[in-house]
Amino acid sequence: MKKNYLSKEGYEKLDEELRDLKTRGRKEIAQEIADARAQGDLSENAEYDAAKEAQGHLEKKIAELEHILATASIIDEKNIDTSKAYLLSTVTILNKKVNKEMKYTLVSKNEADFKAGKISVDSPIGKAILGREVGDSVSVKVPAGMLELEVLKIERL
């Protein structure tokens, strides 16, 4: 079984989302189903069908979150080695093609949030810089083409 490595913050965020879906989410779907059922004939009731489909999606999301949390291993950020880029490392890299510095925190796919500067270790850039040291250069194939990156700094925030 594959481990899901999460920060304490990421674990708590997913756990909170799961609790919300199990309580508020299930309650809202149950109400939608009850309202649709009250409209009469279920064989031609589009609202009922839509509510049942939404219930299926909700239960699937709940099952996925339960699995992620059940297989989660929380990483202690204090023990992260800053000599190499690892999960929860914050890495400053130079895009040599456009001579622009970028700063990303490497996280699991469940915590990735590009706008917040958190990229998944499963993404092309994440995979390329994982395990690299300051001064290392790497070529990365991304949807926009090839990138030439250099690791400038590795830190733990």
Domains annotated for the chain, with CATH where assigned, are: 4-74 (1.10.287.180), 77-155 (3.10.50.30)
What pLDDT is recorded for position 77?
Answer: 66
d(CA 8, CA 58): 25
Mean pLDDT of the chain: 87
What is the pTM for the complete model shown? 0.66
Q: Would you tell me how many other CB atoms lie within 10 Å of the CB of residue 89?
A: 25
Q: How far is CA 11 from the centre of its chain?
A: 11
The string of pLDDT tens digits covering residues 21-80 is 999 999 999 999 888 888 877 677 788 888 889 999 999 999 999 998 998 888 776 666
Measured between alpha carbons, how far is 103 from 107 in angstroms, rounded to an integer?
Answer: 13
């899901």: which residue's tokens? 4
Could you identify the residue written with the tokens 């879906």? 21
